[in-house]
Amino acid sequence: MANMLEVKNIETYYDLVYAIRGASFAVEEGSITAILGNNGAGKSTILKTIMGLIEDQPDKGTIEFEGVQIQHKDTDEIVRKGIAYVPEGREVFEELTVHEHLLMGAYTRKDSSMIKNDIEKVFDYFPVLKERTNQWAGTLSGGEQQMLAIGRALMLRPRLMILDEPSLGLSPLLVKDIFSIIKEINQNGTTILLVEQNANMALSISSTGLILENGRFVMKGKSKDLMEDKDVKEFYLGIKSETSAKGYQRWKRKKAWR
């Protein structure tokens, strides 16, 4: 299958902080791709770079979406090409209602007749939101905001959906729901790029997995293979940590892959 998104050798700086140090990867059309990595590895930074949210970045490298280079384009233009983004930390409009958020999510769409339908669909996915239709997003609970951010992105009917830790702050039940929703969206033809801390879940639904360390990819492969990998098991899936904390088992200082 063709690559929908192709990131080649990008480097990103925050002022003088060198955050992404030459990262390349591709997202196949119709696939679910997951990026894993430690705290501060630069996962969010990669996504932000793709979305054109960091001014004048990437410093080097190219980003191609369906064959068109999109680096250094305005965010709204990138969005208009059919990429939806669920940012880390939700980024809701505090003083807009839930309903208004969903309308805004469909801002770029022309087929206004379908919007109502899609709103209903989002409410189907997240019934809580329906009860909160006219509440200001700023006063929603953390998890509700997260649902709203995902719902807003869905409203775009994107070709590619980029999610930054969608399960953050959701209840176990909802985490399961979210992943099945992601799967469902994917089956309906949307390609997914996912950043997750919940490696277990992420790898179980994705086809490709990438592991980021210190701004570089250190491992790429089929998710199935990654799940079998010893290091991944140890560091990301926590398989070895069966002994509970009550046993005071302390994690060894972690060594980085290099």
Q: Does 88 bind Mg ion (CB under 5 A)?
A: yes
Q: Does 100 bind another protein (CB under 8 A)?
A: yes
Residues 212 and 63: their CA atoms lie apart, in Å, by 18
Residues 238 and 251: their CA atoms lie apart, in Å, by 10
CB of 149 to Mg ion, least distance (A): 14
Pick the closer one to ligand ATP by CB: 97 or 108. 97
Residues 155 and 204: their CA atoms lie apart, in Å, by 26
Return the residue of 44, 146, 191, 206 that touches Mg ion, per CB under 5 A.
44
CB of 69 to ligand ATP, least distance (A): 22
CB of 40 to Mg ion, least distance (A): 8
List the Cα angle 33/258/198 in 5-degree steps: 35
Return the residue of 9, 69, 133, 139 that touches ligand ATP, per CB under 6 A.
139
Q: H or E segment at 24? A: strand 17-28
Q: In what order do the strands lie in the sheet with 68-69?
A: 17-28, 3-14, 60-65, 68-69
For the chain, report the end-to-end CA distance as a whole number of angstroms.
Answer: 31
Q: H or E segment at 164? A: strand 160-164
Site for Mg ion (CB under 5 A): how many residues? 4
Q: Is the dihedral of CA 15, 18, 23, 27 positive or negative?
A: negative
CB of 197 to another protein, least distance (A): 5
User: What track of x and - describes contact with ligand ATP for positions 94 through 113 (by CB under 6 A)?
Assistant: --------------------
Give the interface segment with another protein, choosing from 22-30, 38-46, 186-194, 210-218 (CB under 8 A). Answer: 38-46
Q: List binders of another protein among 144-203 (CB under 8 A).
A: 144, 146-147, 152, 156, 165, 168-176, 197, 199
**Which residues make up the interface to ligand ATP (CB under 6 A)?**
14, 17, 19, 37, 39-45, 88, 132, 135, 139-144, 169
